[in-house]
């Protein structure tokens, strides 16, 4: 985590605005990550529409290796120098990226990556992205793949997780193809564990057989509530937290 100084927090948004004007024309229309005027809701909707309405038969499930941690400083500087001629801007960016880390009063050099927490980092982290080969796979997915698998009786297609949601092929109430999605199990389990630890830390007194109502904060639940295709049937969060619903006194 890199916390910028007050002066840098003022200057970095201005630099990001300039860089966006330079590089926005290079990004393709299906790119949504850390772009002005775009958000995860739009990315999920675009993915759903693309799979449902186009002849998609395969999905490349690619995993980016350490988005903020594995960006080469050398290659990032080459990319920037190719489009930016102002040496003052280049020098300013280099200072931000090589500011180092201060821990227990000792400063250590930053040899690669971008500091998480800086306004300029998401944009600069796009230069030199590296795909994690062990976690990248090509899977059959889409309307035609679903029809072929259903006709041949080979069972369900593989699923993939994107932006916290597990996507899978299915059908609607009329029997037509539809892409369904549900909150990824890993994310749900992590959130329930966090809730459990928080309740333990607060030592909240509960009588035997008491009911605990578990609700996600807006930041966790707003994505799930507004997306078409999320959960084929209603499934409230507190039903997933059944093991937290009835507990003996002080046993959380």
Residue-wise pLDDT tens digits, 109-132: 777 777 776 778 778 777 767 778
Q: CA angle, 86 as apex, 119 and 95 as ends, to 5°?
A: 45
Chain-centre distance for alpha carbon 231: 19
Residue 119 CA neighbour count, 13 Å, CB half: 17
Give percent above pLDDT 90 in the chain: 9
Query: What is the average per-residue pLDDT within 190-200?
Result: 86
Q: What integer pLDDT is reported at residue 59 of this predicted model?
A: 92
Question: Which residue do the tokens 């860089």 mark?
Answer: 19
Q: Identify whether the C-beta of residue 224 lies closer than 8 Å to the C-beta of residue 235.
A: no
pTM: 0.65
Nearest to 51 by CA among 136, 140, 139, 141: 141
| Lookup: tokens for 92 | 């300013």
Q: What integer pLDDT is reported at residue 11 of this predicted model?
A: 87
pLDDT at 203 over 70: no
Beta bridge partners of 111: none
């Amino acid at each position: 985590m890199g916390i910028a100084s007050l002066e840098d927090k003022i200057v970095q948004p201005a630099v990001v605005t300039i860089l966006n004007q330079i590089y926005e024309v290079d990004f393709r229309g299906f790119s949504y990550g850390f772009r002005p005027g775009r958000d995860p809701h739009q990315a999920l909707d675009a993915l759903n529409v693309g799979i449902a309405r186009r002849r998609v038969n395969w999905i490349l499930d690619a995993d980016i290796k350490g988005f903020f941690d594995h960006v080469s400083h050398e290659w990032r500087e080459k990319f920037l120098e190719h489009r930016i001629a102002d040496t003052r801007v280049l020098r300013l960016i280099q200072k931000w990226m090589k500011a180092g880390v201060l821990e227990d009063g000792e400063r250590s050099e930053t040899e690669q990556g971008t500091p998480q927490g800086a306004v300029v980092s998401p944009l600069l982290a796009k230069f030199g992205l590296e795909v994690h080969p062990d976690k990248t796979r090509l899977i059959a997915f889409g309307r035609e793949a679903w029809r072929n698998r259903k006709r041949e009786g080979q069972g369900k297609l593989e699923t993939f997780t994107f932006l916290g949601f597990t996507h899978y092929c299915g059908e609607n109430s009329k029997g037509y193809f539809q892409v369904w999605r549900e909150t990824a199990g890993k994310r749900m389990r992590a959130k329930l564990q966090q809730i459990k630890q928080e309740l333990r830390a607060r030592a909240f007194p509960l009588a035997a057989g008491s009911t605990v109502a578990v609700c996600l904060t807006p930041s966790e639940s707003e994505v799930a509530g507004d997306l078409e295709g999320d959960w084929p049937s209603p499934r409230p969060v507190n039903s997933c937290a059944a093991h937290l619903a009835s507990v003996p006194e002080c046993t959380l």
